[in-house]
A and B are shown apart, each in its own frame.
Chain A
Amino acid sequence: MRGLLADVNCEGHVDRLVRLMEAESRREVWEYLQLQVFRFSGFDLRPETPDRDVWILCQEEQLSLVTANRNAREDDSLEAAIRELNDARCLPVFTISNPVRLKRNAAYANRIADKFLEYLFDIDRHLGVGRIYLS
């Protein structure tokens, strides 16, 4: 795994989580992982790029997408892309369940950062899962 790709509308949330993972209590693990954090602009992705294309790029580039996207449409969702394309070698997508709470509740944000780091530390164990909710 090379790193993380922050969904275009999730960059602030990913920045928040990375800051928490860089904090003293987690820094040792975060630095050991040597993960790079990318933005859409780093791959010349347009803000309206479809979920399916983003998911494929992530697998090609060995990145896990971090998103907070909420979509109730079955036919036009990240869920549909995962259902169609995911296999046992694929990196999971991390979904921030409640971005508002992440911003407003420090205890919740710290709990999310702890869990996120646990997944990232041992990512091979979580290949093929499809989507992991951070909540």
Chain B
Amino acid sequence: MTVATTPGILNDRIAGTRITVWDVYLYLEAGCPVGEIAEELRISTDQVRDAVEFINRNREYVMAGHQKIEERIARGNPPEVEAQREKSAEKMRAWLEARRAGTSR
């Protein structure tokens, strides 16, 4: 897919930052105004506008990447990671109960 270059955007990131066009897209999709996006991501409104221009010029490319990211997130953590978290939650509850009973470790 050919990607149209846009000033201020380098390798899908806002130049000089770690923020990708997909970071910005998430806020745009949620209807956040430019000022709010800038505040949340701690960048300037001009940098947000650069990202918006890139997104508008490369909508198909950005959407494909966004979908890929969303699919990965939707898969969530592997079951074994969630199972280990459950064990951690049990351990934490036991620790709290013991502590509150005056028998903390």
Residue pair B20, A12 in contact (C-beta under 8 Å): no
B interface residues with partner A (beta carbon < 8 Å): 11-13, 15-20, 22-23, 25-27, 30, 32, 39-43, 64-66, 68-69, 73, 76-77, 81, 84-85, 87-89, 91-92, 95-96, 99
- List, in ascending order, chain A residues with CB within 8 A of B81's CB: 126, 129, 132
A111-128 interface mask toward B, CB cutoff 8 Å, 1 = contact, 0 = none?
000010111011001100
Within 8 A of B (CB), among A72-128: 72-73, 76, 97-100, 103-104, 115, 117-119, 121-122, 125-126
Most buried by B among A68, A70, A117: A70
- List, in ascending order, chain B residues with CB within 8 A of A103's CB: 40
Interface of B is mostly: helix
Supposing A8-B17, A9-B42, A73-B11 touch, asked if A100 and B26 sit within 8 A by C-beta, the answer is yes
A interface residues with partner B (beta carbon < 8 Å): 7-9, 11-12, 28-29, 47-49, 51, 54, 68-73, 76, 97-100, 103-104, 115, 117-119, 121-122, 125-126, 129, 132-133, 135
Q: How far is the CA of A125 from the CA of B92 in the complex (A)?
A: 13
